[in-house]
Structure 1
Amino acid sequence: MASELSVSEDVPAEEQAAAPAAPVTDVEMAEGKEGGDHADGSELPYAESGDAEPRTSFIDYLTSPVVTMIVGSGGNETVLTAHQALLLQSPFFAEACAAFSEDGGPRQIELVGDETDSVGCFLEYLYTGDYFPRKLPGQRVLESDPALPSVDESGDQLLKHARVYTLAEKFGVEKLKSLATSKIHCVNSTAKGEIAYARYVYAYTSKDDASIRAPVANFWATRSHTLRAEAEEEFRSLCLEYPQFGYDVLTRVLDEKLKRESQSKLHPAPGSGRKRPRHSQI
């Protein structure tokens, strides 16, 4: 109706009377045809691109071939299995699975230098999106485990997440790296536990990996005056074993000192200005 009104405004009344009326059925058929094109989605904008990939359902993951993983070496191997479609989220496993033949041969991957617990956490993450212990919603606290002490005196709880971090680095899963880092900051540890964790970080991460090394150096730079009293010998040994650790800590201590000095110059305390020395007169 809107199109008929707009046309009649520009045509004289005499020509309108002489012109035959447009068949209503044509308009209805055109409208019906237009609706029919959109009904099957062939004319929709997102249907024309053809770039959108169909969503992979969880059933698709579970019906994919099963891959066997041999974790460990030297008689301490553990056999684990996982569905190939889930493993393909990792570039490491995607490359390994690409070498499998499609003639029904074995699908097996050897993880000689890895630990079973860390690989188990990795697989738990692939299947559920997280691994135990999980962070409590809205809190910087991990769910409790009756088998573990509330305070990590040995550093085992920190090392658990650190090993997951380095494994995620090896497998190329960035989200798992971030998840492991967030859990590290939730562990309540002691000086000796922190030293065990720092030793692992500086032994198994690259020098340029600031995402995990920087918090370790900052932690010791701000607390070394108290933590050294609890584990001074271990701290000294760590600095000698990994000079980069000692350098990183010292750099942050000096940076903080310079920062305080700069702030004091910008905002000097009353009466803190340097005075000319007084000379006694005899």
Structure 2
Amino acid sequence: MADEFHDDPIEEKQSAAGGDVEMGDGAGEGTIEDGNPDATQLPFAEGGDGPEVEQRIQFVDYLQSPIVTLIVGDGGASTVLTAHQALLTQSPYFADACAAFSDDGSPRQIELAADNIDAVGCFLEFLYTGDYFPRKLPGQRVLESDPSLPDIDETGDQLLKHARVYTMAEKFGMGKLKGLATSKIHCVNSTAKGEIAYARYVYAYTGKEDNSIRAPVANFWATRSHTLRAEAEEEFRGLCLEYPQFGYDVLTRVLDEKLKRDGQTKLHPGAGSGRKRPRHNV
């Protein structure tokens, strides 16, 4: 009978597929091979190979990290700020700088000689709160009111505030802060002279390939240059001469828009229009 049992093809198929195992002699060996020496032990009991649960970092953990001193500015105009290391190291720039610190009690100090103090303050505010002042009002393209600032940015100072935060975020490797600064730039109401001051900063401190901030500047002037130039013609001319790439970017967009309009006119000519472009023999 035993031979007939093991020769049963159905039973062999069940064994090969990991089916029921006879609970006779040697049954414990089967469970040991399966990695469960105790038949009553649950698969994910303590000490098993269950999935690891990621520990959430609480805010107090950041506050318990070492204090780092930041010296912002150069010479006698420098300002001393402090921040918690665990928050600073969210930035790759500061992570590399803090990696050089030792635990022998020596000062943890980082110099930011070329950086703007207000921009650094916004950066630290972002690290601790997730945003910086002025914040965007929920669901609106408007910034919260600041009684110390005029409603219209005539000098470009408000635009430059966020532009400096943008370039600092680029330096520190903080992509989310870059996006936040860009969104606030689009909320500022400015004049032609303010826009020129902002455009000059953008073309001076961002790379040619940085279209996320340069393209909106060029598009803005390409669509409004006929009115804005009248308000600040000398400043506009000076900007084009100082940064030819700015003038080229604006001109390219003006010509692209003209070609687009010409193409639409050819596809949908105006009714009764008898005006023709002069022909030139080749």
TM range, smaller chain: 0.7 to 0.9
CA RMSD of aligned residues (A): 2.3
- Output the TM-score relative to the length of structure 2: 0.81
Q: Distance in 2 between matches of 1:142 and 1:274?
A: 48
Residue pairs, 1:14-29, within 5 angstroms: none
Which amino acid letter does the alignment assign opposite residue 261 of structure 2? Answer: R
Gaps of 5+ in 2: 1-9, 11-22, 24-38, 277-282
3-state SS in 2 of match to 1:79: strand
Q: Which residue pairs with 2:111 in the alignment?
A: 110
Q: Does 1:159 align with 2:149?
A: no
Q: Which residue pairs with 1:265 in the alignment?
A: 266
Residue pairs, 1:4-43, within 5 angstroms: 33=40, 36-38=42-44, 40=46, 42=48
Percentage identity across aligned positions?
78
Residue pairs, 1:1-282, within 5 angstroms: 33=40, 36-38=42-44, 40=46, 42=48, 44=50, 46-47=51-52, 53-272=54-273
Q: Distance in 1 between matches of 2:269 and 2:49?
A: 72
Which amino acid letter does the alignment assign opposite residue 83 of structure 2? Answer: A
Q: Distance in 2 between matches of 1:60 and 1:273?
A: 76
Shift of 1:102: 1.5
Which amino acid letter does the alignment assign opposite residue 231 of structure 2? Answer: E
3-state SS in 2 of match to 1:75: helix
Aligned residues: 245
Q: Distance in 1 between matches of 2:55 and 2:77?
A: 42
Q: Distance in 2 between matches of 1:267 and 1:107?
A: 69
Q: Distance in 2 between matches of 1:57 and 1:39?
A: 27
- Output the TM-score relative to the length of structure 1: 0.81
| Structure 1 residues 95-123: Cα deviation after superposition (integer angstroms, max 9, x where no partner) | 00011112111100000001111000000
| Structure 1 residues 183-230: Cα deviation after superposition (integer angstroms, max 9, x where no partner) | 000000000000000000011111111100000000000000000111
Where is the helix percentage greater, Structure 1 or Structure 2? 1
Runs of at least 4 residues off by over 3 Å: 36-44, 271-275
3-state SS in 2 of match to 1:69: strand
Which amino acid letter does the alignment assign opposite residue 63 of structure 1? Answer: Q
3-state SS in 1 of match to 2:135: coil
Query: Compared with structure 1, are the counterparts of its residues 188 and 140 closer, same or farther at alpha carbon in structure 2 (3 Å cutoff)?
Result: same
85-94 or 53-62: bigger deviation: 53-62
Query: Compared with structure 1, are the counterparts of its residues 119 and 269 closer, same or farther at alpha carbon in structure 2 (3 Å cutoff)?
Result: same
3-state SS in 1 of match to 2:271: coil
Q: Distance in 2 between matches of 1:121 and 1:255?
A: 38
